[in-house]
Every structure is written in structure tokens, then in C-alpha cells.
A and B are shown apart, each in its own frame.
Chain A
Amino acid sequence: MAAASATAVAKGNGGGGGRAGDASGTRKKKGPGPLATAYLVIYNVVMTAGWLVIAVGLVRAYLAKGSYHSLYYSIEKPLKFFQTGALLEVGIVPSSVVLTSFQVMSRVFLIWAVTHSVKEVQTEDSVLLFVIAWTITEIIRYSFYTFSLLNHLPYLIKWARYTLFIVLYPMGVSGELLTIYAALPFVRQAGLYSISLPNKYNFSFDYYAFLILIMISYIPIFPQLYFHMIHQRRKVLSHTEEHKKFE
């Protein structure tokens, strides 16, 4: 679900999380002023670079170790830094704040409240699954925004952004769900983030049950976001085709 942030909020051509001043290819909308544009370009370039660092880190670790297991540790710090940094996008994006923050919060939740908090899952292969999905998605997404801001968007990037999600989104969702599932027994055992009665605030919280509810929530949410993106793809890519005819 979090892996979909690439285009899940794409309304028309830009949409949500980190759309950061996306100028849609055809209609010239009133864009941000020069100072805001500079800020947005820098932001998007830095984020693209950050996720490239993560990608390179994964490849190097794989080559050094000779296996794809436990690669999480080699990119743990940049992953936390750049994914958490995406919180900055929530304020500056023109589109729905609700949708953007929902996307970013779910990613941040997975990184901190699951993977970081439950050390035992850090060696799970499912972690690699969502990290790869997120990495590829974000590199494409942030470069898309960068190029859009500079009014020079290569068709390849646009195509990649609106096509690769078809595979990356389910891949990311699988990784996320498997990771949460793997964390469950350890949460139960340690009573992680849970509080039981009696206590003076007359409140209880069962993190184990909460995680199960989160997993169940993927069932109604994932199809909606996925099919929304498929719909967006048809709109955006067919629109570009029409314009290509006139070249």
C-alpha cells in the first residue's frame, strides 16, 4: 500500500506525495514562483539522489556478500533518513493533504513501528521486497517531479512512472504484509507498545491486535488505490499519444 505512493494520488498528471510543483505536460497551470520552484527542484533532486544511494548501497552489499539476505543493515540509515524526510512533502503539495499524509504515514509506520521496532524481522527477505519496490518507485517519482519542474520531461520517465507500478505496487504490498506478519509473534511475546488493565488511566491497547487490523485494512484500501492508478495511467498515457501525433 505504501509502495503505491508513486502515483496513487495522481489526479490528472501530478497528484500527491511529493508532487512538489508538478507541471502537467499539456496545460500550463500557474506554477510556483521562482524561489519556490528552486526549493522544489532542490528537494526533488536531493530525494532522487538519496534513493539512488539506497539503490547503489543494495547492489554493492549484494555483490560483497554474495547473497540477497539481510541486506537491510547496509541501507538502514539512508532508508530511515530519506523515507522519513518525505514528511516534508505533506505541506507543500497542492493536492489532497489527507491522501498525501496517509501515504507517507503508512511508509513511516512500516519503517519505524515495525521494521525498526521489531529487530527480529530485519533479517526477513520480505523487508528486501518492499525496500526494492520503494527504491525503484521513488527514484522514478522524484526524477519525474524534477524534470516536470524544469519543463523537460522525457517520455520514458513518464511512462515508467505510470507503468512500473503495475508490478512494483503489489510487490511492495506483499513485502509490507509479510513483514508485519513476521513481526506478530515477537510483538505478542514482548508485549510491545501494549498496555493492559488495570492502570490509572483506565485504558488498554493491544499492538498485536492493532497490527492485525492494519493488515486487514489493506484489503479494502489496496484495490482502490491500485485501480485508481490504472485509471490515471490510461488518462495520462493516452493523452501523450495524442500529442505525439502532432509532432
Chain B
Amino acid sequence: MRHHVEILDAKTREKLCFLDKVEPHATIAEIKNLFTKTHPQWYPARQSLRLDPKGKSLKDEDVLQKLPVGTTATLYFRDLGAQISWVTVFLTEYAGPLFIYLLFYFRVPFIYGHKYDFTSSRHTVVHLACICHSFHYVKRLLETLFVHRFSHGTMPLRNIFKNCTYYWGFAAWMAYYINHPLYTPPTYGAQQVKLALAIFVICQLGNFSIHMALRDLRPAGSKTRKIPYPTKNPFTWLFLLVSCPNYTYEVGSWIGFAIMTQCLPVALFSLVGFTQMTIWAKGKHRSYLKEFRDYPPLRMPIIPFLL
């Protein structure tokens, strides 16, 4: 038995579209595609369809006949605004710091005085810092392309401006000081640098291990959510104590980098990043608790036992 679907504007209640002879097992995703045919400016990613004008968005996977609707389903439409894919945003926001840092490292003209153009620092730690920073962002780019499995395809377009300002701005600010001709190497010399490097490397490996573990949790093309558990990889044992060890390791990496460079802007960047990641971790932790009744009680969001 075929359904009819009418789509109304959630704010004005204006009738935007009437679809007749829709198969009962049709998904919201298919309905969105049909809607786009009559309103091509609203591609599926920017459509939010809901049963109630003020209600939650229906998921793409939801099936029409499983929803509480009669033979004629009334759906309310809300425009989410221009959308951009997560992959695009990630690639842009990570490519920036990689490139920008190198501009400062190579002392490209007009940054420092002319007599320093294209000169090289005499401090080993400056070269090491460049390698670490570059490695970090190359790793992020590769993970975006080959490792991560995104729940959402897109995000609002304005996010890319906000995110890039943050990443690119901080990268320039840090790189300016680390690669400055008047840069002062760490107070405790090689000892400090070695310790910091160890922290950085361990946390980068840890962060990567978590990303791989999370990827394996979710089959390709799916959006399933499961509780992550420690695997044979010792870096994943942090799952015993925190919900989001990827964030824990990320903060650790930046603390390592801050100790290595002994640069206040790096410490500030770590602090801001930590604040944001804590907010995300708490949110994720809350979702896990809501969704899974048997969620391990020992786990904290981001810092073992504390936060």
C-alpha cells in the first residue's frame, strides 16, 4: 500500500511538496532525494525533516512505514543552511597548519627581518619541533582520508571559517616564536627535549591506536555505535579509565610539544584545546551512558579518575 508524503515548511507551514505513491519501505534519505527534485537548491544534506515542527530531525535510515504516520505522512522541513563535508573541513583545517608552520620554519621573507630571510636556526630543538609539528598534521590528514569513519556527512558551512581561523591562527602564532631568530631553547637543555619528545611520541602512538580501535568498532559505510573496549594493543588499555582516550593522548601530545619548545603560546594552545576536548569528551561520555545501560562505571570522560 503506497503512502503519500506532504512536506511543509516548519516555520511558515507552507506546503512545499507533495509526493504521491511513495513506497512504504522508503527511507527518509530517499524522500529527501525526491524533495530535492522539486527544490534543487535544497540538496539532501541541508534538509532536516521532522514529524513535529519543533521536534528532532528524522534519521536518513528511518523507514517511512515504521514512523507514527498514517497513509498520508506530514513531514516538516527546516533548512540547515549551506553544508560542507566533514572530510573537506578536516583536510582544509589540517593542511593549513602544516603549510603555515613551514613558512615560518624556512623564514620566508616579510616575517622576520630581511637579514634572516631563508636562514636556518642553530638550535636542534627547532628542527625537531618542525618535524614533530609536521608529523602531527600529516598524521591527521592521513587519518582523515583513510582511518576515520564519520557519523555525519556534513556540517554547516560557517564552521570551516571558524575552525580554520582557530587552527591556522594558532599555528602561525606558535610557529612565529619557535622559529624566531631570538628563540630561547629550553632551560634544562637536551634532557628536557628528550623527555618531551618521549611524551610526544608515546601520545601520538596512543592517539593513533585509539583511532584504529574506533575504526574497527564500526564497519565500513555504517553508522553504528558500540562501547569501545581495550584490545591487545597496550595503548588502548586507557579505555579502562576514560571514554575518550584519543583526546587524552591528544592533550598529552601538545603538553609534550609545549615542554619541548618551552613556548608559552604552545601552552596556551594546549589549554584551549584541552578545554574544547573536555567539553566534547563530557558530551560523548553522556551519550554513552544514555545509550548503554552496561557502560563501565569506572570510566571518566577524559582524565582518569578526575575529569
Q: Is the interface of B mostly helix, strand, loop or mixed?
A: loop
Interchain CA distance A201-B178 in the complex, whole Å: 10
Q: In this assembly, does B263 line the interface, its C-beta being within 8 Å of a C-beta of chain A?
A: yes
Q: Which residues of B contact A197 (CB under 8 A)?
A: 177, 180, 182-183
Q: In this assembly, does A199 line the interface, its C-beta being within 8 Å of a C-beta of chain B?
A: yes
Interchain CA distance A202-B129 in the complex, whole Å: 14
User: How many residue pairs bridge A and B at CB < 8 Å?
Assistant: 29
Q: Do residues B184 and A203 form an inter-chain contact, with CB atoms below 8 A?
A: no
Interchain CA distance A13-B264 in the complex, whole Å: 44
Q: Which residues of B contact A243 (CB under 8 A)?
A: none
Q: In this assembly, does B261 line the interface, its C-beta being within 8 Å of a C-beta of chain A?
A: yes
Q: Do residues A201 and B264 form an inter-chain contact, with CB atoms below 8 A?
A: yes
Size bracket of the B interface = 10 to 19
Q: Do residues B261 and A202 form an inter-chain contact, with CB atoms below 8 A?
A: yes
Q: In this assembly, does A65 line the interface, its C-beta being within 8 Å of a C-beta of chain B?
A: no
Q: Which residues of A contact B182 (CB under 8 A)?
A: 197-198
Interchain CA distance A202-B263 in the complex, whole Å: 5
Size bracket of the A interface = under 10
Q: In this assembly, does B262 line the interface, its C-beta being within 8 Å of a C-beta of chain A?
A: yes
Q: In this assembly, does A30 line the interface, its C-beta being within 8 Å of a C-beta of chain B?
A: no
Q: Do residues B177 and A198 form an inter-chain contact, with CB atoms below 8 A?
A: no
Q: Do residues A203 and B264 form an inter-chain contact, with CB atoms below 8 A?
A: yes
Q: Do residues A203 and B187 form an inter-chain contact, with CB atoms below 8 A?
A: no
Q: In this assembly, does B265 line the interface, its C-beta being within 8 Å of a C-beta of chain A?
A: yes
Q: Which residue of B lies closest to A196 (CB)?
A: B182
Q: In this assembly, does A200 line the interface, its C-beta being within 8 Å of a C-beta of chain B?
A: yes
Q: Which of A170-220 contact B (CB under 8 A)?
A: 197-204
Q: Which residue of A lies closest to B186 (CB)?
A: A200
Q: Do residues A200 and B177 form an inter-chain contact, with CB atoms below 8 A?
A: no
Q: Which residues of B contact A199 (CB under 8 A)?
A: 184
Q: Which residues of A contact B183 (CB under 8 A)?
A: 197-198, 202
Q: Do residues B265 and A200 form an inter-chain contact, with CB atoms below 8 A?
A: no
Interchain CA distance A118-B178 in the complex, whole Å: 33
B73 to nearest A CB, angstroms?
37
B224 to nearest A CB, angstroms?
37
Q: Which residues of B contact A203 (CB under 8 A)?
A: 177, 263-265
A209 to nearest B CB, angstroms?
14
A213 to nearest B CB, angstroms?
14
Q: Which residue of B lies closest to A201 (CB)?
A: B264
B91 to nearest A CB, angstroms?
30
A201 to nearest B CB, angstroms?
4
Q: Which residue of A lies closest to B267 (CB)?
A: A201
Q: A197-B183, A203-B177, A203-B265 are in contact. List 12 more A-B contacts (CB 8 A).
A: A197-B180, A198-B183, A198-B184, A200-B184, A201-B262, A201-B264, A202-B177, A202-B183, A202-B261, A202-B263, A203-B263, A204-B177
Provide 24 A-B residue pairs closer than 8 Å at the C-beta atoms, listed in order of the A residue.
Answer: A197-B177, A197-B180, A197-B182, A197-B183, A198-B182, A198-B184, A199-B184, A200-B184, A200-B187, A200-B262, A201-B262, A202-B177, A202-B178, A202-B180, A202-B183, A202-B261, A202-B263, A202-B264, A202-B265, A203-B177, A203-B263, A203-B264, A203-B265, A204-B177
